């Protein structure tokens, strides 16, 4: 739901149907990465930073928060 809400908030009508298609992939990726992590609170905080910056209408900060989350996810995947 988080990812679809972000796509809806973008205002881009083309992204929502795409999001529905990739939501399953996100679910599997989330299950994998959270299983590999000892600290789920860290991942939760990364997601909260994205939501907070979108809500506060700070696109640059939101973009940076997404980049941090993606870098963290990449790090988890690469370390396995």
**Using one digit for the tens of pLDDT, what is the confidence trace for 16-55?**
888 888 888 888 877 777 776 666 788 889 999 999 999 9
CA 74 from centroid of its chain's CA atoms: 12
pLDDT for 57: 94
Between the CA of residue 37 and those of 30, 71, 72, what are the distances in Å? 10, 14, 11
Query: What residue segments make up the domains of the chain, in order of their start?
Result: 2-78
Report the mean per-residue pLDDT for the chain: 86
């Amino acid at each position: 739901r988080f990812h679809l809400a972000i796509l809806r908030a973008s205002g881009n009508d083309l992204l929502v149907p795409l999001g529905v298609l990739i939501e399953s992939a996100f679910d599997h990726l989330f299950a994998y990465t959270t299983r590999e992590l000892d600290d789920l609170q860290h991942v939760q905080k990364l997601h909260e930073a994205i939501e907070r910056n979108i809500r506060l209408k700070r696109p640059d900060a939101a973009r940076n928060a997404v980049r941090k989350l993606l870098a963290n996810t990449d790090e988890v995947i690469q370390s396995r």
